[in-house]
Amino acid sequence: MERGDRRRGLFILRLLVSGGLLAVLVFKAPDLDGVLPRGRHGLTAAFLAGAVVVALCGVVLSAWRWQRVLAAFGAEVSVPTLTNIYLASLFLGNVLPSTIGGDVLRVTRASRPSGSAEIAFGSVAVERLSGFVALPLLVLTGFAARPSLLEEDHALVAILIALVTLGLLASIVFLAGHPRIAGRFTEHENWARFIGAVHRGVDGLRREPRRIVDVLVSAIAYQVSVVASVALIVTAMDLDLPIAALFAFIPAVAMIQVLPLSVSGLGVREGMLVLFLVPLGVSRGQAVGLGLLWYASLLVVSALGAPAFVAGNRRASIPGPADLPAPDVPAADLPAK
């Protein structure tokens, strides 16, 4: 089977998983018609619009995080340029029915301003990894701010997700930063040079700890914007959820939904919200509705990337799936990984 056929087959499988999970969740949540409060339509719309605005600000924060990572590679690219590329990638990854991931487009379009495809690839990979430092930290912060959350059903699942993520991240960073493992690919000329590029980025951060702080601060700022966007949707739905609970559980949901099990986390995100929020007094329908509204806000932001996508395609062709081995991540970490 050719690579393109395999990608299409996996996409169809993930689409079926999303459809199946959503069908089960909707069947078990008959109260979906009461997701939004009645009698305050103007206020509800204002909060939902605010969630979209905050998610759009999250794109800028993502671009800032990417810029900080690129600096570790010795590449200076402006935040507006990276924001434009990010918006185009969101449009391709979340709006267009394509098996080509948004990260492929990011690598392709960032190759020229960053200096090379290897630097662009390495920066996207390292930027994604930085998100998996910030997310577990926010989970632990939420539980530290409100220890009583530990008594809720399934709270330990969120902590386990955070700890496992940190463990996997530590392993990846060790392998990527080791000179005899990923480092031995830095001088290769074939596809392995992209592994070497990731090594150079990790090694550059290790040698300049100040840059690590820059990357972590920008990564945490972005993930906080995600929680803030969801908090506005929660307010629009008139749900009684403490902000500490959102910090404890929303990042845990974000970590799980990046698993390549469904399309853009659909079904997985809503199922995890049911798992975490129903013990806090949220109905199944409200938890599913929160997940769908969260996803809808991301789609709106992604649709705003259409002009950037079209403008870029006038200067370059759309990349094919085999053009670059880019580390594509489903929309979880996007003004999501």
Residue 194 belongs to domain spanning: 41-333
For 229, the token pair is: 């966007």
pLDDT at residue 14, as a whole number: 76
6 in a structural domain: no
Q: Tell me, what's the pLDDT at 80?
A: 95
Q: Report, as an integer, the average pLDDT of 4-9.
A: 71
Q: What is the pLDDT of residue 297?
A: 95
Residue 14, in any domain of the structure: no
d(CA 256, CA 279): 19
Least reliable range by pLDDT among 141-155, 197-211, 297-311? 197-211
CA distance 219 to 226: 11
Tokens of 112: 């020229």
- Is residue 32 very low, low, confident or very high in pLDDT (cuts 50, 70, 90)? low
Q: What is the mean pLDDT of residues 197-204?
A: 73
Residue 116 has pLDDT above 80, yes or no: yes
Least confident among 1-5, 38-42, 274-278:
1-5
Asked whether the predicted pLDDT for residue 186 surpasses 70, the reply is: no
Ranges 93-97, 263-267, 325-329: which has the least confidence = 325-329
Q: Which of 91-95, 209-213, 333-337 has the lowest mean pLDDT?
A: 333-337
DSSP state of 35: S
In a domain, 188, yes or no: yes
> Considering only CA atoms, which of 69, 9, 55, 17 is closest in space to residue 218?
69
**What's the Cα-to-Cα distance from 226 to each of 63, 69, 256, rounded to whole Å?**
14, 20, 15
Mean pLDDT across 115-140: 90
Q: Which of 122-131, 145-154, 222-231 has the lowest average pLDDT? A: 122-131
Domain contains 218: yes
Instruction: Say what the pTM is.
Output: 0.85
Residue 100 resides in a domain: yes
Return the pLDDT at 180.
Answer: 65
pLDDT higher than threshold 50 for residue 48: yes
Q: Give the sign of the dihedral formed by CA 41, CA 42, CA 48, CA 52.
A: positive
Retrieve residue 212's tokens: 């690590």
User: Is 148 inside any structural domain?
Assistant: yes
Q: What is the pLDDT of residues 282-320, one digit of tens each?
A: 988 899 999 999 999 999 999 999 998 888 765 554 444
- What are 121's two structure tokens? 């690839």
Residues 75-106: pLDDT tens digits?
899 999 999 999 999 998 888 755 557 888 89
Classify residue 320 as left (phi > 0), alpha (psi -120 to 50) or beta: beta
Q: How many domains does the chain have?
A: 1
Q: Does 46 fall in a domain?
A: yes
Q: Which of 96-100, 176-180, 240-244, 275-279 has the lowest mean pLDDT?
A: 96-100
Residue 336 pLDDT > 60, yes or no? Answer: no
Q: For residue 28, is it within any domain? A: no
Residue 188, pLDDT above cutoff 60: no
Determine which of 12-21, 51-60, 160-169, 171-180 has the lowest per-residue pLDDT on average: 171-180
User: Which residues 6+ apart lie within 8 Å of 260 measured at CB?
Assistant: 10, 14, 330
Alpha-carbon distance of 42 to 19, in angstroms, equals 32
**Whether pLDDT at 321 is above 50:** no
Q: Indicate the average pLDDT of the chain.
A: 83
Whether 224 contacts 142, CB under 8 Å: no
The CA distance from 85 to 234, in Å, is 30
Taking residue 167's Cβ as centre, other Cβ atoms within 10 Å add up to 11
User: 262, 327 in Cβ contact below 8 A?
Assistant: no
User: Residue type for 288, please?
Assistant: V
pLDDT score recorded for residue 30: 65
Mean pLDDT of the 232-245 span: 94
Enter the tokens of residue 150. Answer: 């530990």
pLDDT at 249: 97
User: Looking at the predicted structure, is the pLDDT value of residue 107 above 50?
Assistant: yes
Name which of 314, 321, 327 is nearest 6 in CA terms: 321
